[in-house]
Structure 1
């Protein structure tokens, strides 16, 4: 897709308004990240201590396929819906609601078909077997997951990020944590506890998203499914679907391949490490829901310079926050993994690689948030190449480690290392393409990141010589405080600091943002 041209002369920049909007949305979702961190810990403790690495590995292998299929069935509406609604600017609210219901109906058709197909042929979900007969009903989460993605995207278009925080950072993680504990102690559901808890959490998230959506958009009025329009929407969504599925697939492909080539214990160890590393991954998605409406607005008026500035700004916010979190979780890696049990300490190297992978991936994620609108096919081609590279590296490293006679922890580390290399390549290639298309620099790199990381590493390394409880209780705050002090003083300018100021962006008008 060629670079879009402005329909008219560019309107005066409202960079301050856009920056305030991005900062407000990022602050809200960053708070959600912190809440998610607290909520995820009980689930990891319950899953690792009560169910064990083998049961956790089987559950993780099944969940991989479920999440990928559900994401495909959402038809890329996480980002595509913002563009469809933006192109419909000026229409009344009922017309906008009907556009959303078109996407929901299509998602239900695809997800229903996918669920029935997996019910008939469940073998791909369970490469290492099942924990119980109830595991097959994980397919029931596919329609709920897909619809929830669309509902949250519709709310994000109205700058309602709080609903995403409630659904993804509070309701879902706390539901799966509580339900996993309850099902473990209920007669007849102990083996099925992880699967049943996951099902409960997905439907709880759906209900949490549906209530504010109905208050914002209402029920459909004068709406009937338009088959021709829905078919056109499916065709148009293909590049977005591919980009979303591959972006998420890069975080799940390694688990799937591990399930094929390694024992379930290795999958369980890797999954525990990945759940910790996924916290900074969720942080970078904090800005995605609010970034899409801002980008589509500037694309509509042809303001490419403003888009490049937003990419640079948000990209630096993300990498600065992610690097700090990676240092806080990675430097005391053995102590962190040891929280789940002695068997999981073998995943320390995998945790380090996974945390590094999320840092190097930050530029790819921000670049892709623009490329999916102005170069869909090229972005998809790059993503396909990257995931193919990851698959090849993962298989090669796992086989090499296995042939060397090394244990499960090294196999997990090999998969994590392959992911890190693939994501680094993705960031480099996508940033260069976006720079070419926008005609402006988009890099999020600043040298003060090195200064802050260096100071934090010195402090963190010193704490590794002390008992683990001191390393966790006092070392983590010391590392975080050192990094934050240096990056704030040497890396953050006045525009950067707006992220931490409690200011409110101007409310959007009644038309599309």
Structure 2
């Protein structure tokens, strides 16, 4: 086997290793998130749950801005400066100073102006102290994100998985569950969130200090004007990009709160939460795709980048397609778990499933653009489509309620992904598709038909709803796995398998 193929296979194995670890953690994290929202929605009801979801959405939204591009800069530059430790330490220090300063400013602003925010959104008793507690969560999570980015950049993702994906959701569920058991209010529920975030930061900090040798160093000979300029030339466009992402990713939930009610926020947020399951395979691949592509790009290995991009995109889509079919076929039963009023979100769920499936189909195109120094193109994308999302959401929500918000956001997400795909081709002459992409499509169609038929048959036979779900999912798994097996695997799949099991060296 040629050295090039061995190197390519090793890079794919690195990405899959990171993705596998991330997936394990993400499954635990998503189960924890599911249980968290289930506890709060069942205990507090749709109205108060809407307050909780709205405050949590504000924190998530602000987190996209408080890092000021530092998390992505860490992932970009620590691998790039692998042979220059002094420069690595300076860049890390610059990222920490920038991000912690931004996090403190934004969190302080939310704390001070909480009455104003509550007044223009969900003006309900008790919402102001809840927002102020979420401001504390915001600053703590900003600091933790710097540590997570450092773990990713140094390809020790297991430390991020342990702290963020395993420990944090478990602590949240335990803390919130304890608050609920003692008859706590929404205020005590958010206090529990603060405690869980602080504990998670402490563990991540301990792992950083005891397991990594790198330390931030601001006073350094590497701290030249050129280095600082390069850093901010990369991070500031990505900060602007994240501001555009805010207008796309969660502005719909915020607008539902402004124009409708806390109950509508609760129903809408649960639908978005379920659809976000489809984002897991893409997030998993992105964990180490970015640093691997950054390293390959600095070495000029374009052919390897193309091969990895194509293989990873197909794997992401294959994993996402089955979950999409399950969410659409069993949408009423899944939403009903949170309470009967939440089944009003079925149309919202279907719209977001379609949009997220398109997101999976274009693979890690955004990370590919960022790691090949096209950060300004990424920034422009986020702003153009972010503004479009704000405008369309405000207009559509007037006519169609929260379904209009979903229609606007899903449509914008579809258009943005098609644009990224076009840009990757135009700027790097890469595209992720081939004949192999038809295999999961065919298998997914058969599996979806099987689940629909099973669902109808179990209902007609008088079985309970969840019996139908269990049998239908089992049938779907069998049909999907069987269809993929019959279609056959690609050479790169076998090569990766050999790499992972340690054979074929």
Q: Distance in 2 between the 1:283 and 1:478 partners?
A: 22
Rounded to whole Å, the distance in 1 between the matches of 2:268 and 2:488 is 34
Q: Which residue in 2 is equivalent to 1:400?
A: 399
Unaligned 5+ segments in structure 1 are: 1-10, 402-410, 507-513
Query: Could you say which structure has the higher helix fraction?
Result: 2
2:403 paired residue number: 413
Q: Are residues 1:430 and 2:420 paired?
A: yes
What displacement does 1:12 show? 4.8
1:195 Cα deviation from its structure 2 partner = 2.1
Question: Which one has more relative contact order, counting CA pairs under 8 Å at least 6 apart?
Answer: 1
Cα shift at 1:221: 7.3
Q: Secondary structure at the match of 2:437?
A: coil
The change in CA–CA distance for 1:227 and 1:138 in structure 2 (over 3 A counts) is farther
TM-score in terms of structure 2 length: 0.88
Contact 1:394 1:415 in 2 (8 A): yes
Query: Given the alignment of the two structures, is residue 503 of structure 1 paired with residue 494 of structure 2, yes or no?
Result: no
Aligned to 2:365: 367
Residue range with higher mean Cα deviation, 77-86 or 228-237: 228-237
Q: CA deviation at 1:108?
A: 1.1
Matches of 1:129 and 1:52, distance apart in 2: 17
Asked if 1:84 is matched to 2:77, the reply is: yes
1:32 to 25, 31, 49: 25
- Superimposed CA distance per residue, residues 34-82 of structure 1 (whole angstroms, 9 cap, x where no aligned partner): 3234323321320111011111212222222222222222122333212
Mapped to 2, the partners of 1:146 and 1:449 lie a distance apart of: 38
Instruction: Tell me the TM-score normalized by structure 1.
Output: 0.87
CA change 1:280–1:491 in 2 (3 A) is farther
Q: What is aligned with 1:461?
A: 452
1:184 deviation in Å? 2.7
Q: CA deviation at 1:98?
A: 4.4
Cα distance 1:491–1:206, how it changes in 2: closer, same or farther (>3 A)? farther
RMSD, matched Cα: 2.7
Query: Which secondary structure does the structure 2 equivalent of 1:285 belong to?
Result: helix
**Paired residues for 1:8-407 under 5 Å:** 12=4, 14-92=7-85, 96-122=88-114, 123-124=116-117, 127-129=121-123, 131-132=126-127, 133-186=129-182, 189-218=184-213, 220=215, 223-224=218-219, 233-247=231-245, 249-363=247-361, 366-373=364-371, 374-401=373-400
Q: Report the equivalent of 2:440.
A: 449
Any conservation in 2 of the 1:335–1:471 contact (CA below 8 Å)?
A: no
Note the residue ranges of structure 2 that are not aligned, 5 or more in a row.
none
Preserved CA contact (<8 Å) 2:28 2:166: yes
Relative distance call for 1:363 and 1:100 in structure 2 (3 A) is farther
CA shift, 1:494, in A, is 3.4
Q: Distance in 1 between matches of 2:433 and 2:397?
A: 33
How many aligned positions are there?
485
- Tell me the alpha carbon deviations over residues 19-38 of structure 1, each in whole angstroms, 9 at most, x when there is no partner: 11112111222222332343
3-state SS of 1:250 partner: helix
Which moved further from structure 2: 98-107 or 425-434? 98-107
Point out the more displaced range, 226-235 or 73-82.
226-235
Shift of 1:333: 0.7
Deviation at 1:276, TM superposition (A): 1.6
Equivalents in 2 of 1:502, 1:175: separation in Å? 36
- Checking the alignment, whether the CA contact within 8 Å between 2:268 and 2:345 is kept in structure 1 is yes
Shift in CA distance, 469/222, structure 1 to aligned 2, threshold 3 Å: closer
